[in-house]
Amino acid sequence: MVKARKFLAVVILILSISVIFHIARAEDYQSGSFILRDPVFTIEGGRSVSVSFEQIAGAGQTISGESTSTTFIHRAGFLYFPIASSPVLTGTAGDGKVTLNWTVSTGTLANITTYDVGVAAVSGGPYTFESAGNVHSFVKNGLTNGTTYYFRVQAKAGLLILAQSNEFSAAPAAAAVPPTPPGGGGGGGGGGGGLPAKVVISGLAYPSASITILADGMVIDLVKANSAANFKSEINTLNAGTYTFGLWAEDGKGRKSITFSFTVSLTSGMTTTISGIFIPPTIELDKVNMARGEILNILGQTAPESKITISVESPQEINEETDATKAGDWKIPFSTSPLEDGMHTTRAKAKTKDGSLMSSYSHVLTFAIGKYVVSELCPRADFNKDGKTNLIDFSIMLYWWGKYNSCVDQNQNGVVDLPDFSILMYWWTG
C-alpha cells in the first residue's frame, strides 16, 4: 500500500511538471486558416468563437493587437478593450419632435468622440441610429403626434461603441391652444398661465447647410437650409424667460461657421420672431506657411452671389473683395507680396447681393510668411492636450490673457487676446 501511494505521488508530480512546462512554454499553433502566436498564459480571458475556431483570449497581454484571417479575428490585450460610463438619457416631447438630453459618457483608455441616437417603434428596438456628433442633446424632428417612440444613445470612440444609455420613451403632442378669455379681453399679467413660449428664427446661411440652434448652450433644433441658403426654425418647447440663442452652420465641405449669438426674452403663450440673421461665411486657407510673394488662396462658402470681403492684418489692414458663385462658393487668390515676414491673420464677412443684409466676421485664421512657422505646439487650442477643447482650455487661456504663452497664443502675435479666443471657439468640443 505504501509503495502504491509513493508511485501515485510520483505520477502526480510528473504530470504537474508536464502541465507547468506546457503552460510556461510558448508554442505556435497553426492551420491552413490561422496562426496562434506564442500563447503563454491567460488572466481573466474572454472567448472568441466561430464555427471552426475557438480561442480563449488572455487579458494579460499589455500591448493591444489584432490577428486576422479569412475565418476569424483575435483581438489581444486588455488595452484593446476600453470602456466608458453609460450616458443617462432624458427628454421632452414637443410638437412633432422630441428633444433628447443625456449626461457625458466618460471613457477609460479612450476618448468619446461622438454619440449616435437611436429611435424605435417598440420598446427594445430594433433601433435606427444616426450620428448626433460630439454633443449632449439632440432634437428628433418629423415625428407623429400621439405616437410613442423609444430612444437610446450610444457613446462611441471613433467607430467603436463603448457604452449605451437607458431606453427613454416619449410621445410628441401639439401645443395646447390657449382659451379665449371672456369678453375677448386680455387683463395682462400671469404670463399666459404658464403656456409655452414660441420662437421663430430665420435667415441666411449657405446652400443646403446644416444649422444647429442652441438655447443656453443646449441643442434645441437642427434645420437644413434650402438651395438659396434660407433657413427657418419654429420652436415651441421653451418656457417663458430670457435665453441666449446660438446658431452655427456647416457647409457642404464640412467647414463650420462661428457661433452667431443673441439674447432674447420670451413671453408665455406668445410668439417671438427673430429674422434677418446672416450667418458669417466659412473660411479656409490652402496653406499656412509660405514665402513672401506666394499666392495664398483664401476660400469658403456663403449665401449665393453675396459680396465677400476679406481682411488681412498687416501694419495697415488690407481688404480684398470677390463675389460668391450661385452655389455660394468663394475664393480669393491673395498675393502676400505686401506683407512683412512674420505671423498674420485673416477673416471674412459677407453682404447679400441686394445689400440688405451684412454678416459679422468669420473665424480668424493664422498664416506665416518667411522663416516664421505657424505653431503646432498646441493644435486645435487643446492646451492641456487631452484631446478636447473645453472649459479647462478656456481657463488656461484666461490665466494667460494679455500675456504671452507660445502654446496659448494661437495666432502667434505676441499676446493672448480676442483672436486667440476666436480660434479656441472654432475648435470647441465641449
Distance CA 328, CA 281 (A): 9
Residue 307 and residue 349 in contact, taking contact as beta carbons nearer than 8 Å:
no
CATH number of 83-170: 2.60.40.10
Per the CB < 8 A criterion, the answer to whether 157 and 112 are in contact is yes
pLDDT digits (tens, 9 = 90+) for 11-24: 555 555 444 444 44
Cis preceding-peptide flag for 126 (omega within 30 of 0)? yes
Per-residue model confidence (pLDDT) at position 60: 40
User: Do 283 and 206 meet the contact criterion of CB atoms below 8 Å apart?
Assistant: no
Q: What is the mean pLDDT of the chain?
A: 78
Of 28-42, 198-212, 373-387, 409-423, the least confident = 28-42
Could you tell me what percent of the chain has a pLDDT over 90? 26
pLDDT band for 82, please (50, 70, 90 cuts).
low
Q: In CATH terms, are 83-170 and 280-372 the same topology?
A: yes
Task: Provide the pLDDT confidence category of residue 78 given band limits of 50, 70 and 90.
Answer: very low
pLDDT score recorded for residue 196: 85
SS3 182: helix
Residue that the C-alpha cell 452667431 belongs to = 260
- Phi and psi dihedrals of 7, rounded to 5? -60, -45
Place of cell 480676442: 418
The yes-or-no verdict on residue 216 having pLDDT over 80 is yes
Mean pLDDT of 217-235: 92
Predicted pLDDT at 71: 55
Cell numbers representing residue 88 in the block: 443617462
For residues 206 and 329, give the distance between their C-alpha atoms in angstroms, rounded to a whole number: 9
Rounded to whole angstroms, the Cα distance separating 213 from 97 reads 15
* Residue scoring higher pLDDT (255 or 77): 255
3-class SS of residue 194: helix
The winner for highest mean pLDDT among 134-138, 330-334, 362-366 is 330-334
To the question of domain 197-278 being in CATH 3.40.640.10, the answer is: no
218 confidence band (pLDDT: 50, 70, 90): confident
Report, as an integer, the average pLDDT of 215-243.
90
Q: Which helix (H) or strand (E) is 270 found in, with range?
A: none
Which residue is listed with cell 501515485? 8
Q: Are 307 and 323 in contact (CB under 8 A)?
A: yes
CATH superfamily of this structure's domain 280-372: Macroglobulin (MG2) domain (2.60.40.1930)
CB-CB contact of 420 with 410 (8 Å): yes
pLDDT band at 76; cut points 50, 70, 90: very low
Q: How confident is the model at residue 4 (pLDDT cuts 50, 70, 90)?
A: low
- pTM greater than the 0.85 cutoff: no
Distance, in Å, from the CA atom of 141 to the CA atom of 239, rounded to the nearest integer, reads 19
- The 3-state DSSP class for residue 308 equals strand
- Residues 157-207 have pLDDT tens digits of 888 888 888 888 888 887 655 544 444 433 333 334 468 888 999 999 999
CATH T-level fold of 375-430: Type 1 dockerin domain (1.10.1330)
Residue appearing with cell numbers 490673457: 401
DSSP structural state of residue 175 = P
More confident residue, 61 or 148: 148
Q: How far is CA 147 from CA 34, 89, 129, 171, in A?
A: 51, 19, 19, 5
Hunting for cell 497664443 — which residue is that? 409
Structure confidence at residue 149 as a pLDDT band (50, 70, 90): very high
> In the predicted model, is pLDDT for residue 134 greater than 70?
yes
For the chain, what are the domain ranges? 2-80, 83-170, 197-278, 280-372, 375-430
